[in-house]
A and B are shown apart, each in its own frame.
Chain A
Amino acid sequence: GDSVTQMEGPVTLSEEAFLTINCTYTATGYPSLFWYVQYPGEGLQLLLKATKADDKGSNKGFEATYRKETTSFHLEKGSVQVSDSAVYFCASEGDDYKLSFGAGTTVTVRA
């Protein structure tokens, strides 16, 4: 079945630092790819998505590009803020409409 592997955390950064979280997927066919975020005390929220190769998803300063050749969907942000502290999940969705999630990466941004 489909699976997602993402960079293990935790990751601790200073404000305005560059953030990257690696994510690779295995799938039959051409899945849609997602990044979800879980802020402290809140539920999972969709951060961004891409539905086909070379698509770039972006939101709140975060970006990720669907790379079919490397089966990757790495998340990046050029300048993080304290409010970006959260757990980030990479996920894929195949033709079966089920989301397959990575284990999550905890990001802490210090002022």
Chain B
Amino acid sequence: GAGVSQTPSNKVTEKGKYVELRCDPISGHTALYWYRQSLGQGPEFLIYFQGTGAADDSGLPNDRFFAVRPEGSVSTLKIQRTERGDSAVYLCASSAMSGFLAGTLGEQYFGPGTRLTVT
């Protein structure tokens, strides 16, 4: 079946602009995660949704970053007043379940990422 998809694959924007990054999770997956990967680093957690609600947004760096998942499927990561330091690859992942009982259903499947460049 289809995996996690993310659009756009690349986004170049000017400093100060607003951007939206979209994630389509695997159909039926209730948990959705956003990570940010800077050059030469591993991905860093941003936010986690269980269904429509943000269960944990502790990784969002500041209030310029916001994410929604209004219908419990597609999610949008929104960045206001972009800064050059926001340049990174933004990764989305989804899993069928979460929680300590999830077992193999908790495996996170990653999308290809959106490369954001702020000039």
Interface residues of A (CB under 8 A from B): 4, 36, 42-46, 49, 89, 91, 95-104
Contacts and interface: CB of A to CB of B under 8 A. Distances in A.
A11 B111 CA distance: 26
Nearest to B108: A99
A25 B112 CA distance: 26
Main secondary structure of the interface of A (DSSP, over half): strand
Interface residues of B, number: 27
Nearest to B47: A98
Q: Across chains A and B, which 5 residue pairs bring their CB atoms closest together, nearest first?
A: A101-B42, A44-B110, A43-B112, A98-B45, A97-B98
Contacts of A42: 112
A44 B112 CA distance: 7
B14 interface: no
Contacts of A103: 40-42
